[in-house]
Amino acid sequence: MKEVAEQNRVHIFDTTLRDGEQSPGISLNTQEKVEIAQQLARLGVDVIEAGFPITSPGDFEAVREISQRVEGPVICGLSRTHKADIDAAWNAIKDSARPRIHTFISTSDIHIEHQLQTTREDVKGQAKAAVALAKSYTEDVEFSPMDATRADVEFTAEVCAIAVAEGATVVNIPDTVGYTTPAEYTAYFRRLYELVPGLEDVEVSVHCHDDLGMAVANSFAGLLAGARQVECAVNGIGERAGNCSLEEIVMLLRTRRDEHGLDTGLDARELARTSRMVSRLTGYSVPPNKAVVGRNAFAHESGIHQDGVLKERTTYEIMDATEVGLESNSIVLGKHSGRHALRDALEQLGFRVDGNALNQAFKRFKEIADKKKQVTALDLEAIASDEMRERSEAYNLGWFEVEAGSKRQPKATVSVVLPSGEESVAQASGDGPVDAIFGAISEAVGTEAELARFEVEAVTGGTDALGEVTVWVRANDKLASGQGVATDILEAAARAFVRAISNALEGVAIREAEEATADAASERTPGP
């Protein structure tokens, strides 16, 4: 991790597992969240906002598991200014070596009147009580005046002053709906520093959304105005248009460090791997033209550009691809490689597997190695991530057969292993082999599922490349995604569809649990 002078050190607060997971269709289980959190620790983020514990028993459990199993970063739990929220957050994070409670309430009049249906005085009282209660649990308390950029700056300053007086160690200024501009945001910060006693003695944070495409620019403006924590998400995922992109703000600071002197100290070589992991587990593909981690980020089509790069890379590249881990694909295994070699290779990639998990991964590796000449680091990442999705308590693909040809309607027979362990076999016809497989899976599960989106990507190049399929389905009034990896696209599609249905059905159970959770569901607020 790169050493940075403390006054120029920007702390990275990652909200992939909280704000990022609030993106429509994302459904991560506890193990997947832990794997992402461990990779974030490997990347070197300072704070992981692990979730919003009050919202459901599943979210509470995931935050608690991360607190117990992830070392290094601060582990943060989000809460409204309600006592039940703060209690839940503390109980979820208390096993962490470095716990933080992040509590919030809106200061914009539009939220106070229409959402909270209360008064400014009540907001001040709630902020005071919430920070005091959180402070009684842990020294590290963050406070956010939600929708601050649409709020009266003088009133927001009053509320922030109360939070600082009660012991808040971090004050976050959210651009909750992505409304502000860099110049406005800078002026807002300058005014807050003038109005809030002691603000210069606490850490000030930025949390910007991308509704107008300015989340990174606004976050950068806030940092130049004095903030030293930036709240962001891997691949920029999050509510609506998303959050400030972690990889973009990190490399913006790194690349232009000579101009402003700021940096993060993160191991940027882990950026690409982190991006791929989050993309696979969430089902949110990375656009090819995505800055820093998109597959075209360092690609040159123009002859003039190609000529320039061949002569001197810096003619058309302001970053080196190896700096973000895009060319760190050195691990190569073959069909003769053993369990120990596989385990060592997976550990190099940040996956800790042993016992039965190793046996299953090895079995899968051998099957793929028989079909491919070489299994690369990217292949191993895909295999390991795919195996993580196999859970005994969920629906899993058993086997499938397809009859298809240009002169007859395709027909599929599919076996699905139910959560009970029983096997359900069903048949269906369709417009094509994929449609037939999906119809048979729906029959086997006993659920009508509508395909909303279907994506295929090659993990690596070549005719023997692993195919990665992402599907989005609507089932039981819930949109959910699933992913599958295999050398056979039909197998990858079948795995993905089963997992999407499983996630949708599990989502229904979670929603029911939320309704039974103390006043959380009736007043649920998405967060800053």
Convert the pLDDT of each residue in 189-243 to its tens digit: 999 999 999 999 999 999 999 999 999 999 999 999 999 999 999 999 999 999 9
**Residue 44: what pLDDT?**
98
Range of the domain at 208: 6-282
Alpha-carbon distance 206 to 520, whole Å? Answer: 26
Q: Per-residue pLDDT averaged across 316-340, rounded?
A: 74
Domain annotation covers residue 455: yes
- Taken in order 62, 68, 72, 77, is the CA torsion positive or negative? positive
266 and 146 together in one domain? yes
Domain annotation covers residue 303: no
| Radius of gyration over every alpha carbon of the chain, rounded to an integer in angstroms | 24
Report the CATH number at residue 231: 3.20.20.70
Report the CATH number at residue 434: 3.30.160.270
Domain annotation covers residue 523: no
Q: Which two tokens stand for residue 498?
A: 């089963």
Domain count, the chain: 3
Q: Is residue 508 pLDDT above 60, yes or no?
A: no
CB-based contacts of 344: which residues, under 8 Å, 6+ apart? Answer: none
Alpha-carbon distance 108 to 88, whole Å? Answer: 26
Q: CB burial class (10 A; 0-12, 13-18, 19+) of residue 251?
A: buried
- Are 98 and 75 in contact by the 8 Å Cβ rule? The answer is yes
**Residue whose entry in the numeric block shows the structure tokens 């200061």:** 107
372 and 231 together in one domain? no
How does residue 281 score in pLDDT terms, banded at 50, 70 and 90?
A: confident
Alpha-carbon distance 447 to 419, whole Å? Answer: 14
Per-residue pLDDT tens over the stretch 177-204: 999 999 999 999 999 999 999 999 999 9
Considering the entire predicted model, what is its pTM? 0.81
Domain annotation covers residue 65: yes
